[in-house]
Structure formats: C-alpha cells, structure tokens
Amino acid sequence: MDTSKTDVLADAKKILIAPSQFTKIKILISVNFVVGFAILLNAASQLISKGNFNSPKRDWIYFPTVILFMFFSGITELYYLTKRKGIPPYLHHFLSYATVILLSIITLSLLHTSSNPPLAILFDAWIGIPVLISVSLIINRWFGAVMFTLFILNIFWAVYRIGFDYVYQTGWVFQDPKFITNLVIVIFTYFLVSILMLFFESGTIDQVLKAIPHAIEKIETASSEKKALEQIEILKNQQDGDYFLTSLILTPLGANRAKSENIKIDFLVEQKKKFTFKRWEKDIGGDICITDNIQLNNRNYIIFVNADAMGKSLQGAGGALVLGAAFKAIIERNKFSPEGNGQSPERWLKNVFIEMHSIFESFDGSMLASAIFGLIDDKNGFMYFINAEHPSIILYRDGTAGFVDSKFISRKLGSVLLNRKVIIQTIHLREKDVIIMGSDGRDDIKTGVSEEGDRIINEDKTMILRSVEKAGGGLKEIADEIKRCGELTDDLSLMRIEYTGNPGEPLDEQTGILLAKAQILERSDKPREAIALLETIPKEKKMQTRISRELFKLNFKIRDYANSAHYGLACCQEMPNHIKLMYMLCYSLRKMKEYTKAVDVGERIRLREPGLIKNLLNLSECYYRLKKFHRSATMVSEILSLEPDNRGASYMQHIIKTRHPEMG
C-alpha cells in the first residue's frame, strides 16, 4: 500500500479512537476514589462507634494499605490525565491489576460471612465476582475473562457441595444482619461505579458520533487519493513502456561494429535513469557510443562517435536517437556512394560534422548534443577528430594519462555557430597507445554533502586522469575507479580505443644500404646522385614509405615536380601527420598544373592548420587558375586578416580586383 494512503487512513483511525483514549483512565480514577472513600468511611465509622476496628490485628494493616493505594492510584492517573499525556504502559498495567485485585479482596471480605464454605463461595460468585467482571472488562478484557471463568467454576463447585439444601441455606444467610449490611454496601458501590462507567462511556460515544463525519471525510480523501495513485500508476506504466520501446530502438544504433586487426575498441554506457517494465530492467538516457568501418580513397578507416545529448531521461534519449539514426544513415550512404569514398578523411569528417549540426539546428535550440567525431587510419593509427564541446580526449601512453590538447573546440550540435569554420585535429597513435573518451558524467561526481545539505560536486577535471592511471587503462576498471571517487549524478559513457600497431614492411638489407648511401649524398648536396642511386631499387620497393619519402624530398629539391608529385602522393597517404610534406605535395601539384588535386591537398592542410600562410597563398592561386575567383578572394582575405602586410596576398588581391572588378 502506498505510504500517503496509509497515512490518511491512520489519521481517520486516530479521529475515531481519540475520544476514548482516556476513558479507561477516567474509569480507573473513579473506581479508585469511590472505593477509597468508601473504605475510608467504613474505617472511620468503626473507629467512631467502637473506638477500634472489628479485627484490629488485620484491619490496622488492611485499611491503611487499601486506602493509601486507592488514593495513590487515583492521584497518579489524574496527574497524567490533566497533563494530557499517556500514562507509561507498565505503570498503567500495575495500577489496573492492583486495583482489581484489591477490589476482589474488599468485595469478597465483605460478603464472605457465612460459616458454610460452599454457601459463602456461592454468594461470592453471585454478588462479588460480577462486580469485578464489569470493572476488569473495562480495564483489561483478559483479566475480565479470567474473572468470568472463576465465576462459572465457583457456581458449579458451590451448587455441587450444597446440593438440594440450597434454598434453606440461602434463606438462613439472608437472615444475617451483617451480611445484609455488607451486601447493601457492595451493591451501592457497584451501582455507583457502574453509573460513573456509563457516564464516561456515554460521553465517549457522543464524541465518537461527532467525530464520525470528520473520519468519513478523511476516508473519502484516502479513497480519492487511492484513485489518483492508481491513475498515476497507469500513467507510469505507460511511460515505462515508452522508455522500453525507446531503449529497444537505441540499442542497435549505439553498437560497436568496428572490426580491425590493429585497433581494439570497447565502450561502456551507463544511463542514470533506471526503470522496470514488466520483467525487464533497463536504463535510458542521452549518452551514446557508435563505431563502424568505412573506406575513403580505397583506404580502411574506423569511424567513431561518443556523444551526450542534452536533457534527462526521454528528452536525452530523443537526442541520442536522432544522432544515432542520422549517423547510421551517413555511414550506410558512404558504403554505397562512390563520391563519398573518393573524399579525403579531413573533408569527409568536416562534411559529417556540418550535416549532423544542420540536423540538430533544425530543432531551433531545443535539442543539443556534445560529441567527438573521429576517424582512425586502420593501417598507420593516424587519428582525425572534431570536438563539439565534449570533455577532452585522454591519451594513456606508457602508464601515464594526459589530455590531448584541443586547438579548437566547436560549439555543441544544434547551437548557433558564429561561423562555419571547422578545424580537424589529429594525433598519431603509437603502438599500445590507448585513447579514452567519455561524457561529462565522468567528472560530475557527488563527493559529499555540505553543512547546508547541498551536494558537493567534483570540480577537479584531472580526477579522471588519476582514475585512468590507477585502472591501468582498462575500461571497466576506470568506471569502478570513478565510482570509488563518489556517486554518479549523470549518464556515464566511456570509449576505449587501443592501437596495437602495424610495423609495416621492413626494408631488406640491400635496400637499407642504398637508402643510407642516398642520405649521405643528400647531406653532401648531391641530390641528383642520390636520386640516381635510389632509382636502382626495384619499382615495388620504391613505394615503401621510407624510400618514397626520400625520393619525394630529393625530387622537390631539384624542382622535378612531376616525380615529386608522384612519390609525394604515396608518401603523404602513409604519413598524413607531416604537414610540411603535404604542403610540398600541394605545391608540386600546382606546378604540374594539377590544380584540382592541389586544392584537395591544400584544403586538407587548411582544415588542420587554418593559419598556415603559404598554404593559403598556394590555395588562392590554385582557385584563381580554376576560375573560382570568390574562393581565391576568400583565401586572400584570410591571409590579410592574419598578416595585413603580406606582399603575396596584396598582389593577389590587386590582380583579382584589376582583372575581375565584379569581385570588388
């Protein structure tokens, strides 16, 4: 039963029993004072008329004891009654039982005057014990039951002993003046006590009758509250059903589908909202992790996202549902679209981010999400990522955890962007490097309660680093360490990416010797001789990364841009972490008048290093040659905003304005 309903019914019960809560005390007080005064008058009359008691040895002990106890009991009960406090149970029981026992002694001593024991017991039963039954039933029903049992047993035993002499014997006893006097005293006391009992009981009944309407009102309130609670229970079941269906849809979207021999990915999602629907126990929230495989330029990549949709329970789950469904559609589109396959990882990731942001932007700010989107080259472990106001990525390397520096953090998905500039960040993973990502639930830990009763939330953003180090980079162990630091106050999602390494094809001894000799010639400023030496290497081995990089640099040095571009394309594909080599490739392609390819490489550089002046100049000229004058002018404007006195940019600006005045 619901607690609130129980409380209301308890209130109604209290209303009905409140008038009678002191009735027993009142009856006990009446009995004590009436009997006490009666005994006191009896003792006084004996002392006045005879100067002593009838049985001095007995009565000098009997009368003072009974009188003192009766008045002590009455005064004690009266004190608690006037204070409106409940008398301690042990004291009330003692006084009640003692009073009834004394009444037994008094009543039986007054009536037990016959020299015929069976007849005396019979009169005790007929006259004395009913008085005690009526009193003890009010004070304690179990004691009354005992007295009633004695009453029945006395009658049977007395009748059995007296037999047919019953009428004669009773007549003889009723002729005894002493018995008649005592009988009158007992009957008078009985009627006086009974009248007082009826008085208190009638008052109690009257109060109970007056309290009944209020009690009925309370019960009706309880009934209406019960109906309201039943309605709430129905609505809660419906809500849990909605939660359950949403969680069923979210489960396949937030899946770890990535498969790789060089990269191991695990993730853990623990939503704050737990619920039970029928026999299933589930959780629901806004955190989601997704991984999958894609191909770009015929090269395999692992794509991942760790996101946290704003809002609690169903609202957060709605955001995660939108993000998961949209991201899944983008991945599937890439798998069946040749155009998507032909993009560079930087451009593809930028387009994904812009598309996801546009989807959330359509909700007019009512749905936001922080996220990290990323790609990892399956072969060389080079990672590209965009941080949309999500907690920093953690790199666990050689037993030490540290944050990956974020040069640029974008706004949350769905928020108003000041501009559409997107910057791709990168990190080159080494063998056995571990990347840890997580939502802000990893930091928002309740560590205690303040003196005012407010929650104390962790503000130390480096706490997670210590947790990662203590856990040795293990995912479940990290979650356990976080929980040891305090209580989770938000959804928690963690993603672990480990690069196991790909050493690549080693150089054979002969090729290694030729490469060493070529490097000596290069340092001796004999690039052509070095090229000639490396050209003797078989064609399939020349495409190995170390050889192609050396040939790329040497041909660029002698300005053989055709060969430079040829080797540069192979080299930059395997070594995308070297911005300098990528710029050399872009420059070589421009010199070869391969402007479209040059723009593609230059834009990759711009997405990662937007402030690289020489790359912007190179792009400006390429766009100009492609007759994309607006883009060329945009590059020039970016250069001048960074370096107003740049002569190359000023010259390009002059050319554009002179030859294309419509651009002004």
Instruction: Report pLDDT digits (tens) over 631-663.
Output: 999 999 999 999 999 999 999 998 988 888 776
Percent of the chain with pLDDT over 70: 72
- Asked whether the predicted pLDDT for residue 197 surpasses 80, the reply is no
CA distance 46 to 29: 26
Report yes or no on 471 lying in a domain: no
- Comparing C-alpha atoms, which of 99, 61, 59, 58 is closest to residue 77? 99
Amino acid (one-letter) located at 587: Y
- Judge if 187 and 297 occupy the same domain: no
Residue 388, φ and ψ in degrees, nearest 5: -100, 75
Percent of the chain surpassing pLDDT 90: 35
* 549 & 618 share domain: no
345-401 pLDDT, tens digit per residue, is: 999 999 999 999 999 988 888 889 999 999 999 989 999 999 999 999 999 999 999
Between 282 and 586, the higher pLDDT residue:
586
**Could you list the residue range(s) of the whole structural domain that residue 527 is in?**
505-575
Euclidean distance between the first and final Cα of the chain, in Å? 79
Query: Does the pLDDT value for residue 478 go beyond 90?
Result: yes
Residue 277 lies in a domain: yes
Establish if 568 belongs to a structural domain: yes
Give Cα separations from 238 to 229, 230, 284, 550 (angstroms).
Answer: 14, 12, 15, 68
Check which CATH number belongs to the domain holding 361 and give it. Answer: 3.60.40.10
Q: Is 537 exposed, middle or buried (0-12, 13-18, 19+ CB in 10 A)?
A: buried
- pLDDT tens across 71-83, in order? 888 788 777 777 6
**pLDDT number for residue 10:** 54
Q: What mean pLDDT do residues 153-173 have?
A: 57
CA–CA gap between residue 91 and residue 28 (Å, rounded): 13
| Pair 640, 660: CB distance under 8 Å | no
Report the b/e string of 116-146 with b at 16+ CB within 10 A. Answer: bebbbbbbbbebbbebbbebbbbbbeebbee
306 Cβ partners below 8 Å, 6+ apart? Answer: 267, 288, 289, 371, 372, 390, 437, 438, 439, 493, 495
Question: Which stretches of 307-433 are DSSP H helices?
Answer: 313-336, 338-341, 345-361
Rg (CA), the chain: 50
Structural domain includes residue 271: yes
Residues 393 and 336: beta-carbon distance below 8 Å: no
Q: What pLDDT is recorded for position 343?
A: 87
**281-319 confidence digits (pLDDT tens):** 777 888 999 999 999 988 899 999 999 998 877 788 888
- 379 in the same domain as 289: yes
20 and 147 assigned to the same domain: yes
Local confidence band at 449 (pLDDT 50, 70, 90 cut-offs)? confident
pLDDT of residue 15: 47
Residue 203 has pLDDT above 60, yes or no: no
Give pLDDT, residue 17.
Answer: 47
Contacts of 232 (CB under 8 A, 6+ apart): none
Return the residue matching tokens 């700010």: 365
Residue holding tokens 């910057």? 423
Task: Output the pLDDT for position 499.
Answer: 94
Exposed, middle or buried: residue 235 (CB in 10 Å: 0-12, 13-18, 19+)? exposed
- Whether residues 313 and 398 share a domain: the answer is yes
Q: Would you say 437 and 495 are in contact if contact means Cβ atoms under 8 Å apart?
A: yes
For 187, the token pair is 């009957």
Place of tokens 């037993």: 399
Q: Does the pLDDT value for residue 280 go beyond 60? A: yes
Residue 205: pLDDT band with limits 50, 70, 90: very low
pLDDT of residue 422: 86
Mean pLDDT to the nearest integer, 478-500? 92
Q: How confident is the model at residue 164 (pLDDT cuts 50, 70, 90)?
A: very low
Segment 124-130 mean pLDDT: 52
Domain total for the chain?
A: 4
Using the 3D structure, point to which of 172, 192, 218 is the last residue of a domain.
218
Asked, for residue 588, whether it belongs to a domain, the answer is no
Both 120 and 199 in one domain: the answer is yes
pLDDT of residue 30 exceeding 80, the answer is no
Q: Whose CA is closest to 556, among 538, 575, 569, 574? A: 569
pLDDT at 585: 95
pLDDT of 126 higher than 60:
no
The answer to whether 241 and 53 are in contact (CB under 8 A) is no
pLDDT score for 596: 94
Task: List, as own/partner pairs, every contact residues 224-231 make where C-beta atoms lie below 8 angstroms and the sequence separation is at least 24, other chains included.
Answer: 225/4, 225/5, 225/8, 226/2, 226/5, 229/2, 229/4, 229/5
Q: List the CATH number of the domain containing 527.
A: 1.25.40
pLDDT score of 54: 72
Residue 154, pLDDT score: 66
| Residue 586: alpha-carbon gap to chain centroid | 53
Report, as an integer, the average pLDDT of 460-487. 92
Question: Band of the pLDDT at 174, cuts 50, 70, 90?
Answer: low
- 470 inside domain: no
- Residue, of 13 and 448, whose pLDDT is higher: 448
Nearest to 506 by CA among 462, 560, 553, 546: 546
Determine the average pLDDT of the residues in 47-52.
Answer: 81
Say yes or no: 299 and 364 in one domain: yes
Q: How many Cα atoms are found within 13 Å in the side-chain-facing hemisphere of 80?
A: 20
Q: Say whether both 135 and 162 belong to one domain.
A: yes
For residue 493, is it left (φ>0), alpha (ψ between -120 and 50) or beta?
beta
**Residue 170 pLDDT > 60, yes or no?**
no
pLDDT at residue number 218: 61
Residues 568 and 606 in one domain: no
Q: Do 526 and 431 share a structural domain?
A: no
Does any domain span residue 451?
no
Highest mean pLDDT: which of 124-128, 338-342, 563-567?
Answer: 563-567
Q: What per-residue confidence (pLDDT) applies to 438?
A: 93
Q: Are residues 611 and 568 in the same domain?
A: no
Look at residue 64 in the predicted model and tell me its pLDDT: 86
Domain end position, chosen among 482, 499, 516: 499
Question: Quick check: 582 and 604 in contact, CB under 8 A?
Answer: yes
Range 549-560 burial, b when 16+ CB lie within 10 A, else e? bbbbbbbbbeeb
**161, pLDDT greater than 70:** no
What is the H or E stretch that residue 495 is in? strand 492-499
Residues in CB range of 262: below 8 A, 6 or more apart: 378, 379, 381, 499, 500, 501, 502
The answer to whether residues 423 and 380 belong to one domain is yes
Measured in whole angstroms, the distance separating CA 58 from the mean position of its chain's CA atoms is 78
Q: Is the pLDDT of residue 582 over 90?
A: yes
DSSP state of 411: P
User: What is the pLDDT at residue 373?
Assistant: 95
Helix or strand (DSSP H, E) at 626 = none
Please say if the pLDDT value at position 209 is more than 50.
no
Mean pLDDT (the chain) is 79
Q: For position 318, what pLDDT does the model report?
A: 86
Structural domain includes residue 230: no
Of 447, 482, 499, which marks where a domain is finished? 499
Contact of 533 with 514, CB cutoff 8 Å: yes
Single-letter amino acid, residue 592 = M
**Quick one: which of 661, 609, 663, 662 has its CA closest to 636?**
663
Give whole-number Cα distances, 566 to 23, 319, 411, 562, 585, in Å. 109, 46, 39, 6, 9
- The per-residue pLDDT for 648 is 92
470 vs 220, more confident: 470
